[in-house]
Amino acid sequence: MCADDRAEQVGYEYLKPKAGSNYRQLFVNGRIQAEIIYRATIGLEPLTPEDVAKEYGLPVHAVLEAIDYCLHNRELVDADRAGEAAPGKVDKTSLKPNAVRLAKRPAAVDAAHLQTAGLTAREPPFLSTSPRRATAS
Predicted TM-score of the model (pTM): 0.60
What pLDDT score does 83 carry? 79
Beta bridge partner(s), residue 15 = 28
What pLDDT score does 130 carry? 41
The helix (run of H) or strand (run of E) holding residue 24 is none
pLDDT tens per residue, range 39-69: 999 989 999 999 999 999 999 999 999 999 9
E strands, the chain, in order: 15-16, 27-28, 32-33
What pLDDT score does 43 carry? 86
Rounded-to-integer distance, Cα 12 and Cα 28, Å: 10
Read off φ and ψ for residue 16, nearest 5 degrees. Answer: -145, 155
- Positions of the chain with pLDDT under 70: 1-10, 85-118, 120-137
What pLDDT score does 80 carry? 87
Rounded-to-integer distance, Cα 47 and Cα 136, Å: 34
What pLDDT score does 30 carry? 87
Are 58 and 117 in contact by the 8 Å Cβ rule? The answer is no
What pLDDT score does 49 carry? 96
